[in-house]
Structure formats: structure tokens, C-alpha cells
Amino acid sequence: MKNKKEHHEEHPDETWLIPYADMLTLLLALFIVMFAMSQVDKAKLQRVSEQFSIIFSGGSATLEKDGTSTIPMEMPNTLDGNDGTIEEAKMSEVKSMLEKEIKSMGYADKVKVELNKEGLEISIQDVILFNSGEADIIQGVSPLLTQISKLLKKLDNDIKIVGHTDNVPIHTEKFRSNWDLSSMRAINVMNFMVGTGGLSPNKFSVQAYGEYSPKYNNQTVEGRAKNRRVEIFIIRKYPVKN
């Protein structure tokens, strides 16, 4: 009886799976980074680019089951680019631009810009905007409000216009009290910023305090002049942590 030849089953060469898996891993990591790009600053993007150049030129990378990466690089952290941080950076940029414009127009001593917990505050003394005891915006001041409106288009925030007066009583055919005067001044500033400045009306609200929220001493001429003001608040969407 003839001996049967043993038959050895041939297995296909699977060594190609290793580089293929590595390539898929790198592509997945790349897509994760691309997804996060919109929330990463330029410096981090540069570091990401440099690290991927290293990886694709001979480095290695893997992804764990929980989705974390062991890529030898600083992965973009979306918390570093969170909405509050982005909003703060945008407001700071607009603040700097406003201050430059205000200074160039010669209003630096009458218009103040401040970034605080509530948001970006632009305080304009009434002498720039209105004649004494009036609420109609002086025509010559239009470029200031127009430029402010233009810069505020960079921010997608609600805007509050607040009117203030000093404590000197007023009672005329147009205005029964300082409340009336301060509210109409705030409304007219809002109408200008919407009608001429091109800002969306659904962003605005108006408040009027009359003489009842002074920042300065109403017993002095200088203090009363500073208390007669209109404040433009660009309100934060994301509160500042204490």
C-alpha cells in the first residue's frame, strides 16, 4: 500500500495587514485632529502639523479602545478652545480696535471701553451724542456710532443700551423727568445702530436709570458730566468664572 503524502495547507501572506492597520490608525487620528481644528489656536495647529510630519516620515501611533491617543504629540484639547475662551478673545480684540478708533477720532476723554464680568462696556458721555436736554443724536457724531456698530458686527452677542442722567431735574414738553430723557436717548442710540449701523434688531434691549444709578459724585460739575451718559453693553453668553 502506497504511503499517502501529507498535504500541507498553504496560508496566504498576511504581513500586509500590519502596515495597513497602522495607516488606518493614522488616518483616524488625522480625522480627529481635523474635527477639532476649529477650536484650536494657531500655535497648537502648528505643533499638530509638525508632529504629524514626524509621524508620517517614520513615527508610529496607536489609538486605545477608549478613544485616547498614544501619538507622541500634544493632541488638541477642545477645552482650551471652549466657547467662553473664544468669546473672551473676540471681545478683547474688539475692545482694542474700539480704543484705537475712539482715540483717532479725538474722543478718548469722553468715551471709555471696559471688559468686565458682564461683557464689553462702551460708556459715552452725553455731550458727544446730544445737545443739552435733548435726545436727538447730533448729526456730526454719526461716524463714531457707525464705527462702533461696524466693529460690533464681529460679535454674535446681545446688546443692551442703557441711558443715564445727572440729578438735575428736568420737566419740559418732551420729557417729564430724567427717566423719560434717559430712556429716549437709549432708544435713539439703539435705533441708530440698527437703522444706520446695520445691526440686527433682535439683539437689542433698552434700559433707563435716569439719575438713579450714578457712577460719579453729582455734587460736582465734572461728576454730573460723567453721569450723563449712554452705555452700550455687549453681553457675555458665557459667564466669567470667579
Return the higher-pLDDT residue of 70 and 180. 180
Q: Does residue 126 sit in the same domain as residue 206?
A: yes
68, pLDDT greater than 80: no
User: What pLDDT score does 144 carry?
Assistant: 93
Nearest to 131 by CA among 186, 192, 185: 185
User: What pLDDT score does 151 carry?
Assistant: 96
Is 241 part of a structural domain of the chain? no
65, pLDDT greater than 50: no
User: What pLDDT score does 77 carry?
Assistant: 41
Q: Does residue 28 sit in the same domain as residue 104?
A: no
Return the higher-pLDDT residue of 29 and 174. 174
Return the higher-pLDDT residue of 24 and 79. 24
Which of 10-14, 20-24, 35-39 ranks highest by mean pLDDT? 20-24
> Do the Cβ atoms of 118 and 162 come closer than 8 Å?
no
Where are the extended beta strands (E) located within 9-77? Answer: none
Is 5 part of a structural domain of the chain? no
pLDDT digits (tens, 9 = 90+) for 157-198: 999 999 999 999 999 999 999 999 999 999 999 999 999 999
pLDDT digits (tens, 9 = 90+) for 77-86: 433 458 999 9
Residue type, 101: E
What is the overall mean pLDDT for the chain? 82
Cα distance between residue 199 and residue 120, in whole Å: 16
Q: Does residue 66 sit in the same domain as residue 88?
A: no
7, pLDDT greater than 70: no
pLDDT digits (tens, 9 = 90+) for 100-148: 999 999 999 999 999 999 999 999 999 999 999 999 999 888 899 999 9
Other beta carbons less than 10 A from residue 13's beta carbon: 7
Q: Does residue 40 sit in the same domain as residue 92?
A: no
Q: Which domain holds residue 28?
A: 17-79
Cα distance between residue 157 and residue 161, in whole Å: 13
Cα distance between residue 68 and residue 233, in whole Å: 42
Angle CA 24–60–43, to nearest 5: 95
We report the CATH number of the domain holding residue 227 as 3.30.1330.60
Residue with cell 480696535: 97
Angle CA 181–187–192, to nearest 5: 125
**Which residues, 6 or more positions from 142, have their beta carbon under 8 angstroms from its beta carbon?**
192, 196
What SS3 class is residue 46? helix
pTM strictly above 0.85:
no
Q: Does residue 56 sit in the same domain as residue 115?
A: no
Is 11 part of a structural domain of the chain? no
Cα distance between residue 23 and residue 33, in whole Å: 15
Which of 12-26, 28-42, 193-207 ranks highest by mean pLDDT? 193-207
User: What pLDDT score does 14 carry?
Assistant: 63
Q: Does residue 171 sit in the same domain as residue 197?
A: yes
Is 144 part of a structural domain of the chain? yes
Is 198 part of a structural domain of the chain? yes
> Do the Cβ atoms of 217 and 166 come closer than 8 Å?
no
Q: Cα separations (Å) of 58 from 55, 61, 178?
A: 6, 10, 74
% of the chain with per-residue pLDDT over 90:
63
Q: Does residue 87 sit in the same domain as residue 201?
A: yes
Q: Does residue 160 sit in the same domain as residue 59?
A: no
Q: Does residue 72 sit in the same domain as residue 95?
A: no
Select from 28, 53, 79 the last residue of a domain.
79
Nearest to 35 by CA among 93, 76, 79: 76
User: What pLDDT score does 42 carry?
Assistant: 57
72, pLDDT greater than 90: no
